[in-house]
A and B are shown apart, each in its own frame.
Chain A
Amino acid sequence: RKEVEQDPGPFNVPEGATVAFNCTYSNSASQSFFWYRQDCRKEPKLLMSVYSSGNEDGRFTAQLNRASQYISLLIRDSKLSDSATYLCVVNSGDKIIFGKGTRLHILP
């Protein structure tokens, strides 16, 4: 099992819809989790941290499921500007591992 796995997509979603994707991790001792966003030919940018209790930032909701070892990102009322690749990041204390990302295309 890979250390961090994401569905590469692409997810093609109409504008205004809700979309969610997951990221699984193999190390049960992983301590902290993040979602990054990367636009085409740009650098990754921190989108949000993922707390044990879950957290919400506007249209974005991130959740952690330790029992099943995955994190999720939900985007409500999707906008054209949400089109990007979403990378999950797992911090296992001694290692920081980026997933390969899920590509999201919001369709007009």
Chain B
Amino acid sequence: DAGVIQSPRHEVTEMGQEVTLRCKPISGHNSLFWYRQTMMRGLELLIYFNNNVPIDDSGMPEDRFSAKMPNASFSTLKIQPSEPRDSAVYFCASSWTSGNLGEQYFGPGTRLTVT
């Protein structure tokens, strides 16, 4: 069974460019989470979807960040325009709500570098 799939695995871009990160959750999971991880701040929840609907986006840093989930098998996180301080590893995770939201399965992450 395939786990959570993220693409690209690595992204290097220049400041001001648009960046789009993609995620395919585990089939049958109905909750999806986007996280950002840095050495300084640890793992931060950016946004959480349940049944494709954004439930909590309080972690989204600012308007430059947006996330969509057009269907149960796909989500995107977009940064426009990107800034050097956005450099981090971005993880997508999914879970089954009828279980426990804390039992999440993470993708391999996208390592973003903004120069």
Q: Which residues from chain A sit less than 8 Å from chain B, CB to CB?
A: 32-34, 42-46, 49, 87, 89-91, 94-101
Contacts and interface: CB of A to CB of B under 8 A. Distances in A.
Contact of A49 (B91, B100, B109): B100
B100 A87 contact: no
Interface of B: 33, 35, 42-43, 45, 48, 56, 91, 100-109
Contacts of B43: 44, 87, 98, 100
Contact of A91 (B33, B42, B100, B106): B100
Contacts of B101: 91, 96
A8 B40 CA distance: 12
A11 B92 CA distance: 29
Contact of A96 (B42, B45, B106): B45
A94 B48 CA distance: 11
Contact of B42 (A45, A90, A95, A100): A100
Which of B45, B102, B106, B107 has the most CB atoms of chain A within a 10 A radius of its CB?
B102
